A and B are shown apart, each in its own frame.
Chain A
């Protein structure tokens, strides 16, 4: 199974600043996904990142606020830009272990972000 290293594990940031979250996978994967988990809530998909193309964003999420990079098949970053307290959440990356074969996603350990 794929192992994902996600960092930072947590951060406290000032409003108006930006934070970049990194995910490194120990094997090549086609699709990487970024989720947000707001306090006490379930996971919401932010965007899907494929190598060599622009990320595909879900309704309610825009590239200017959450720019994503996917420079190769093992790495991706998510930036939370111009942060406000409403951005305080856990952000998780995940990879597709082969959904068409009925496997679930593997998730990183998450980045717990607090904006003050």
Chain B
């Protein structure tokens, strides 16, 4: 079935550092890909999305490119801030099914001043 794999473990980095969170997926067909963010004590918010190969989603300085050849959707930000500390979830939805979202395990990101 459809699945999403995120890199293991929390990510701790200093303010203004470069952030990368890896995400790879397995799906039949051509899924839509998403990154969601969960700030402490809050629900999930859609951060960015891409619906077809080579699309680049971007929002709040974050970017991710839909790579069909490597089945990846890695999240990047060039210069993180303390306010970016949150849990980040990669997700996919395979069109043609029942539109359910499959989530990765999530990565806790902690940005230190």
Chain A residues engaging chain B, CB cutoff 8 angstroms: 6, 31, 33, 41-43, 45, 48, 92, 94, 96, 99-100, 102-110
Contacts and interface: CB of A to CB of B under 8 A. Distances in A.
B73 interface: no
A41 B105 CA distance: 6
Listed residue (B45, B95, B98, B101) with the most chain A CB atoms within 10 angstroms of its CB: B101
Contacts of A41: 105-106
Given A31-B99, A99-B99, A103-B49, A42 B32 contact: no
B32 A99 contact: yes
14 contacts: A31-B99, A41-B105, A41-B106, A43-B103, A45-B101, A48-B98, A48-B100, A102-B32, A103-B49, A105-B101, A107-B43, A108-B43, A109-B43, A110-B43
Contacts of A106: 46
A22 B11 CA distance: 34
Contacts of B62: none
B10 to A, nearest CB: 10
Q: Is the interface of A mostly helix, strand, loop or mixed?
A: strand
B66 to A, nearest CB: 11
A43 B91 CA distance: 10
Contacts, number: 53
Interface of B: 32, 34, 36, 42-46, 49, 51, 89, 91, 93, 95, 98-101, 103-106
Contacts of A108: 43
Contact of A42 (B34, B99, B100, B106): B106
Contact of A92 (B32, B44, B99, B104): B44
A37 to B, nearest CB: 9
A108 B6 CA distance: 24
A42 B89 contact: yes
Contact of B100 (A45, A92, A102, A103): A45
Nearest to A31: B99
A33 B93 CA distance: 14
B89 A104 contact: no
Rank and list the top 5 A-B pairs by shortest CB-CB distance, nearest first.
A102-B51, A99-B99, A109-B43, A107-B44, A104-B46
A104 B42 contact: no
